[in-house]
Homo-oligomer: A and B are copies of this chain.
Amino acid sequence: MSASLNKILLSENEIPTHWYNIQADMPNPTLPPLHPGTKQPVGPDDLAPLFPMGLILQEVSQEQFVEIPDEVRDIYKIWRPTPLYRARRLEKFLDTPAKIYYKYEGVSPSGSHKTNTAVAQAYYSKQEGVKKITTETGAGQWGTALSIACQMFGIECDVYMVRISYDQKPYRRAMINAFGANVYPSPSDRTQAGRNILASDPDTPGSLGIAISEAIECAVQDEHTKYALGSVLNHVLMHQTIIGEECLIQLEKAGDFPDVVIAPLGGGSNFAGISFPFLRHKFKNGSNIRCVAVEPASCPKLTQGEFRYDFGDSAGYTPLLPMYTLGHNFRPAAIHAGGLRYHGASVLCSQLLKDGLIEAVALQQLECFEAGITFARTEGIVAAPEANHGIAQAIREALVAKEEGKSKTILFNLCGHGHLDMQAYQDYFDGKLQDHYLTKEELTSGLKELEGFPSV
């Protein structure tokens, strides 16, 4: 019967019991993060003021599978396992011999995959007596996810939201409030970092860099307060592998296996979540599966950046990380896929790309919105602008299959719905959006600032 189904569902009892830690299987290990002052590898103690030890140990773990605590799985059961869809109407519309599957993470409380790691991070914080977690949010998806996760564990949550998003995205802010977190426009007068900025520029729109500074400042000043990140770090990527692990079970039920796995890449957790479990099969069985990360052409760190040590944040607070980067001061154009506007790629994804184990492609935003509209009208889901990048690449692959007259199985991660991003769609319909072609100057200016940084 499953051959004709639209959705492959699993029961709650089939939620995977372990996250997959790709560090155990990578042919080349990642280079260590370095302390920006001493240029020496960073140890667990260096991170202890910011993160709970449970997460720091996961960050450096070499264990292949890490057991998901029962309390985390219990909360996952609210929305997991998420459905795997066969995109039959999209296939028909494209008239392609390819089979297209998508994993839908938009059913989570926050409407995106971010909830998977938010719940895990809140759990390990609770275990260590943390009373409050601080974080920053730009597009708002991460702030939303951490809010509901903290709510579930009775932890207070302070979200520093970039002021321009705070003003322009009242729906996001309301959602964070609904889930019980405190949300402050950043810069705020609650931190020294915020007050300094406000003193010199009272009308600043804010930036993710400033918001990070505020969240970190609050965390380090109170021993019961920790800080949380929604992407980039190894433990965050590992928590997301629940996505790909479920896909493996679901595709087995469908009697299928992908030739290509696709996901958008901002920091890397979305891409890692769906692709790492499939890469395990590639490592083990030498399968030819292709894993394709899709980045916006306006922020092309994977396809046009350099693999080198750089800061993870624009303010330069984090350790130096070995990664594909455009430079921590690179300022991407204001495309609406806010979640993909990050200057670097996670250390794990960067190493895999360097080793030729994954691929990357950069797409312009008009193609992505067009793909999103096609998807909405055939499959009935209006996806987040970030997610449209995955849809667009899946359509590209399906059209190649059509041209070649070959069947092929495509899997992509539909990482979130677009209900809180409808202004971007309206701007697209109103002709206000355009593609952006970076000049050589734009591409290289951020990298020039990295001269003198440790080499890889």
B108, B377, B382: the one within 8 Å of A151 (CB)? B377
Question: Are A78 and B419 in contact (CB-based, < 8 A)?
Answer: no
CB of A59 closer than 8 Å to a CB of B:
no
Question: Are B380 and A77 in contact (CB-based, < 8 A)?
Answer: no
* Residues from 139 to 159 in A contacting B, C-beta threshold 8 Å: 148, 151-152
Assembly CA distance A79 to B379 (angstroms): 10
CB of A227 closer than 8 Å to a CB of B:
no
Selected interface stretch from A3-11, A185-193, A389-397: A3-11
Assembly CA distance A425 to B180 (angstroms): 12
* Residues from 358 to 395 in A contacting B, C-beta threshold 8 Å: 372-373, 376-377, 379-382
CB of A107 closer than 8 Å to a CB of B:
yes
Assembly CA distance A78 to B379 (angstroms): 7
CB of A31 closer than 8 Å to a CB of B:
no
On chain B, the residues within 8 Å of A12 by CB distance are 5-7
CB of A171 closer than 8 Å to a CB of B:
yes
On chain B, the residues within 8 Å of A381 by CB distance are 109
CB of A177 closer than 8 Å to a CB of B:
yes
Determine which residue in A77, A152, A178 has the highest number of CB atoms from chain B within 10 A of its CB, and name it: A178
CB of A51 closer than 8 Å to a CB of B:
no
Question: Are B109 and A107 in contact (CB-based, < 8 A)?
Answer: no
B1, B171, B178: the one within 8 Å of A423 (CB)? B171
Question: Are B426 and A173 in contact (CB-based, < 8 A)?
Answer: yes
On chain B, the residues within 8 Å of A108 by CB distance are 380
On chain B, the residues within 8 Å of A89 by CB distance are 78, 152
CB of A429 closer than 8 Å to a CB of B:
yes
CB of A200 closer than 8 Å to a CB of B:
no
Question: Are A9 and B11 in contact (CB-based, < 8 A)?
Answer: yes
Assembly CA distance A109 to B426 (angstroms): 18
* Residues from 1 to 37 in A contacting B, C-beta threshold 8 Å: 1, 5-7, 9, 11-13
CB of A57 closer than 8 Å to a CB of B:
no
Known: A170-B426, A177-B429. A79 touches B11 (CB 8 A): no
Assembly CA distance A5 to B382 (angstroms): 29
Q: How many copies does the complex hold?
A: 2
Known: A6-B12, A7-B12, A171-B419. A380 touches B109 (CB 8 A): yes
CB of A420 closer than 8 Å to a CB of B:
yes
Assembly CA distance A11 to B111 (angstroms): 23
0/1 interface trace, chain A 402-431, chain B, CB 8 Å (1 if under):
000000000000000101101101100100
B78, B372, B377, B420: the one within 8 Å of A180 (CB)? B377
CB of A219 closer than 8 Å to a CB of B:
no
Question: Are B175 and A422 in contact (CB-based, < 8 A)?
Answer: yes
- Smallest beta-carbon distance A379→chain B, Å: 7
On chain B, the residues within 8 Å of A382 by CB distance are 175, 178-179
Known: A151-B377, A376-B179, A380-B79. A174 touches B423 (CB 8 A): yes
On chain B, the residues within 8 Å of A172 by CB distance are 422
Question: Are A426 and B78 in contact (CB-based, < 8 A)?
Answer: no
B379, B417, B420: the one within 8 Å of A422 (CB)? B420
Question: Are A380 and B148 in contact (CB-based, < 8 A)?
Answer: yes
Known: A175-B382, A179-B377, A180-B377. A170 touches B423 (CB 8 A): yes
Question: Are A376 and B178 in contact (CB-based, < 8 A)?
Answer: yes
Determine which residue in A5, A77, A171, A422 has the highest number of CB atoms from chain B within 10 A of its CB, and name it: A422
Assembly CA distance A410 to B111 (angstroms): 27
- Smallest beta-carbon distance A139→chain B, Å: 15
Question: Are B174 and A422 in contact (CB-based, < 8 A)?
Answer: yes
Question: Are A9 and B9 in contact (CB-based, < 8 A)?
Answer: yes
- Smallest beta-carbon distance A96→chain B, Å: 19
- Smallest beta-carbon distance A418→chain B, Å: 8
Assembly CA distance A102 to B27 (angstroms): 48
0/1 interface trace, chain A 24-64, chain B, CB 8 Å (1 if under):
00000000000000000000000000000000000000000
Question: Are B380 and A178 in contact (CB-based, < 8 A)?
Answer: no
9 CB contacts below 8 A, A to B, read A5-B11, A170-B426, A171-B420, A171-B423, A171-B426, A173-B426, A174-B423, A180-B377, A417-B419
